[in-house]
Amino acid sequence: MKKILYKLSATTIAVLFTITSCTDQLEQNDPQALSTTEALGTFDGLVTALHGAYDGLQRLSWYGRDFLVIPEVGADNVYISIDNSNRFLQNWNYQL
């Protein structure tokens, strides 16, 4: 009888916590989110958005170097010299 009473009270407490939970605290707005009118409403906002869009293209893995060189190495349009630091050797040997 004690086990049944213990299980029943544990189930009742769990159900009460589930039913009486509040959803207001879970529905929060993102504090870092901006609407388009706020972000792009001024000239400085447009310039910042443009810089953010093109910032990734400055990296070496994109238009800085690798994005243009790796297809040329793979197509045998360039040659690996003795003085090379083995930078594109895997692409040259097709070992990717």
Please name which of 50, 71, 74 lies closest in space to residue 62, comparing C-alpha atoms. Answer: 71
Decide: 80 and 89 in contact? Cβ < 8 Å.
yes
State residue 47's pLDDT score: 93
Output the pLDDT for position 94.
Answer: 78
pLDDT score of 23: 60
Q: Is the pTM of this model over 0.85?
A: no
- Please report, for residues 7, 22, 23, 33, 36, the alpha-carbon distance to residue 27 in angstroms, rounded to integers and kept in the order given: 33, 10, 7, 14, 21
Q: Are 47 and 40 in contact (CB under 8 A)?
A: no
pLDDT one digit per residue (tens) for the chain, 96 residues: 777 887 888 888 887 777 766 666 667 777 778 888 888 899 998 999 899 888 877 877 777 778 788 888 888 788 777 787 878 778 777 776
